[in-house]
C-alpha cells in the first residue's frame, strides 16, 4: 500500500484543523439507535459514544470524513504527498465535514425529545444522509422491541420526512402573513424574501424559483392556505436539502428484506444498502495491521495470522456484505454519492504544467472540492485573491492547453494558474 495507518491517523489529526473554505456540510440524521454514531465513527474513526439506547448523542458530533477520488498522480507515474487527507494506491481521500446529530422522534418539530434543538443543529447541512435501521428491531423512539415484535421501517422514513417538512413550514409560519404581504407591497422578489426568511439554512434564490415553478400555487403567496404552505415548504426542503437513505444493518436477519421494502416504497429517493458495523470493523482491523483494506473496496487482504474468531468475523463480512452488495459496506459509497452525484462537486488538483511539486517538494499536495460551474477564474480567486485579480490564463497540466477565465472546470482537472 505504501502508507501506514499511523500516517493516516497523523493526517486525520491535522485535518481536524483543516480550513473548510467551501463550507460543505453533510448531516447524518435518523431516529435514535439506528447506527448514526457507528456510521460517523466508521467514516471518521473519531472516538464517539456508541450504545443501543436512545439519545446516546445529545450534542452534535463534528468530524472529518473523506470522499474517494481517483488521484491524477497515476497518470504522471508518480506518488502524491497530500497536505490534507491521504492517498492509498492512487486513491485520494479528500476531507469533508460530517455532523452526527441526536436522534429525531415523532413530534420533533414541536419540541419532543429536544427536537427543536436537534433540528436547529441541521441548519447548516447541505445534504442529509438518513440512516435507517433495517433490522426493524427498534420502535420510532429508538427503543428495543421485544422478540417477535417488528417495526415498519417505512414508517421511520415517513415520519422523519414529515418532521423535516414541518420544521421548514414552521420557519415560514413564524411571520408568514406579514412576510408575504410585505413582499407583495414592496414589490420585493418573493424568492429573495424567502431566502431571507431561511437565513442560515443555505436556501438559494434559484432553488426557490425552481420550487415555485414545480408546485403550481397561486401567484399571491398571502392567499396560500395551510395545505399549500406545507406543499411549498416540503418542496423547498427537498430542493435545498436533498436526502439519501442509508439502509443500515442490511446484514441482519431482516435487513435485506426491509432494504428492498424501503427501496420499493420510496422510489423518489436513492436507497443505498449499508453496514456501518462492518465498515468500522474493517477499518479497525486495517488500523491494527491485521488486514489491508481501502475504504470503499469490496475486498481486503489478510496480513497477519488471525485466530478463529477473527477469521470467522471477516468471512461473515465478506460473504454477507462485500460480495453481496454493489457498494460493499456502503459507507464510503454514500459519502461519494452525496458529494459528487447529488451536490455535483468536482475535485480539482492545482498542478503546474511543468512541475507537479510545490516549493517544499510535495507532489500534488492539494486537492480541492469545488461547487458545480466553477470556472478557471473562480478557482484562481479561491486559491488567493491576488491570483484572481492578476489572472492571465490557466494551463491544463495534462495537455498543456491554455484556458481562459470563463473555462468551466471538470472533475479531476489538474491546472496551473498563470498571473501577471
Pairing of strands 25-29, 86-88: unpaired
Rounded to whole angstroms, the Cα distance separating 227 from 154 reads: 23
User: What are residue 413's phi and psi, to 5 degrees?
Assistant: -70, 145
Average pLDDT estimate for 30-34: 87
pLDDT-wise least confident of 25-34, 287-296, 371-380: 25-34
Residue predicted with more confidence, 28 or 186: 28
56 vs 364: CA distance, rounded Å: 41
- What residue ranges define each of the domains in the chain, with the CATH number in brackets? 5-164+242-342 (3.40.50.300), 168-239 (1.10.8.470), 347-419 (3.10.20.30)
Predicted local distance difference test score (pLDDT) of residue 348: 98
Over residues 233-248, the pLDDT tens digits come to: 999 999 999 999 999 9
Looking at residue 300, the DSSP 8-state letter turns out to be -
229, three cell numbers: 404552505
CA nearest neighbour of 205 among 185, 191, 217: 191
pLDDT at 37: 87
130-139, 343-352, 361-370: which range is least confident on average? 130-139
Residue 97 has pLDDT above 70, yes or no: yes
Confidence band for 9, pLDDT divided at 50, 70 and 90: low
SS3 156: helix
Predicted confidence at residue 222, as pLDDT, reads 83
Residue 363 or residue 46, greater confidence: 363
Q: Is the pTM of this model over 0.75?
A: yes
* pLDDT of the residue at 70: 98
Q: Which of 1 and 174 is assigned the larger pLDDT?
A: 174
Cβ contact 364:80 at 8 Å: yes
Which stretch of 40-54, 189-203, 332-346, 386-400 has the lowest confidence by average pLDDT? 40-54
Cα separation values, 327 from 153, 213, 275, 289, 295, Å: 21, 35, 10, 24, 11
**Cβ pair 105, 31 in contact under 8 A:** yes
Helix (H) / strand (E) element for 169: namely: helix 153-173
Asked whether the beta carbons of 258 and 135 are under 8 A apart, the reply is: yes
d(CA 367, CA 11): 14
pLDDT at 108: 58
pLDDT bucket at 139, cuts 50 / 70 / 90: confident
Amino acid at each position: 500500500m505504501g502508507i501506514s495507518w499511523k500516517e493516516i491517523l497523523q493526517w486525520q489529526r491535522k485535518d481536524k484543523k483543516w480550513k473548510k473554505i467551501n463550507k460543505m456540510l453533510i448531516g447524518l440524521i435518523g431516529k435514535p439507535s439506528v447506527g448514526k454514531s457507528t456510521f460517523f465513527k466508521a467514516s471518521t474513526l473519531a472516538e464517539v459514544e456508541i450504545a443501543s439506547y436512545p439519545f446516546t448523542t445529545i450534542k452534535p458530533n463534528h468530524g472529518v470524513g473523506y470522499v474517494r477520488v481517483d488521484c491524477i498522480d497515476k497518470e504522471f507515474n508518480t506518488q502524491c504527498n497530500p497536505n490534507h487527507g491521504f492517498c492509498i494506491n492512487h486513491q485520494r481521500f479528500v476531507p469533508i465535514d460530517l455532523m452526527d446529530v441526536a436522534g429525531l422522534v415523532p413530534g420533533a418539530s414541536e419540541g419532543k425529545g429536544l427536537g427543536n434543538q436537534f433540528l436547529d443543529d441541521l441548519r447548516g447541512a447541505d445534504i442529509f444522509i438518513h440512516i435507517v435501521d433495517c433490522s426493524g428491531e427498534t420502535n420510532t423512539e429508538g427503543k428495543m422491541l421485544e422478540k417477535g415484535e417488528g417495526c415498519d421501517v417505512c414508517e421511520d422514513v415517513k415520519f422523519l420526512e414529515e418532521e423535516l417538512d414541518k420544521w421548514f413550514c414552521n420557519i415560514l409560519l413564524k411571520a408568514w402573513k406579514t412576510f408575504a404581504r410585505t413582499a407583495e407591497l414592496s414589490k420585493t422578489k418573493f424568492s429573495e424574501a424567502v431566502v431571507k426568511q431561511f437565513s442560515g439554512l443555505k436556501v438559494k434564490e434559484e432553488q426557490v424559483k425552481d420550487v415555485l415553478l414545480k408546485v403550481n400555487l397561486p401567484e399571491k403567496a398571502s392567499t396560500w392556505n395551510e395545505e399549500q404552505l406545507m406543499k411549498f415548504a416540503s418542496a423547498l426542503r427537498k430542493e435545498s436539502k436533498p436526502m439519501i437513505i442509508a439502509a443500515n444493518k442490511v446484514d441482519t436477519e431482516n435487513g435485506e428484506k426491509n432494504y428492498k421494502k424501503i427501496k420499493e416504497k420510496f422510489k423518489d429517493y436513492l436507497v443505498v444498502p449499508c453496514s456501518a458495523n462492518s465498515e468500522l470493523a474493517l477499518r479497525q482491523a486495517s488500523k491494527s495491521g491485521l488486514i489491508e483494506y481501502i475504504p470503499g473496496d469490496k475486498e481486503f487482504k489478510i496480513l497477519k495470522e488471525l485466530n478463529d474468531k477473527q477469521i470467522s468475523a471477516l468471512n461473515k463480512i465478506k460473504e454477507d456484505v462485500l460480495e453481496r452488495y454493489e457498494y460493499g459496506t456502503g459507507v464510503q459509497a454514500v459519502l461519494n454519492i452525496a458529494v459528487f452525484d447529488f451536490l455535483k462537486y468536482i475535485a480539482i488538483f492545482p498542478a503546474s504544467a511543468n512541475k507537479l511539486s510545490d516549493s517544499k517538494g510535495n507532489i500534488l499536495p492539494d486537492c480541492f472540492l469545488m461547487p458545480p460551474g466553477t470556472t478557471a477564474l473562480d478557482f484562481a480567486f479561491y486559491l488567493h485573491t491576488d491570483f484572481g485579480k492578476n489572472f492571465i490564463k490557466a494551463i491544463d497540466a495534462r495537455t498543456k492547453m491554455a484556458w481562459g477565465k470563463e473555462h468551466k472546470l471538470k472533475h479531476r482537472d489538474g491546472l496551473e494558474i498563470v498571473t501577471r
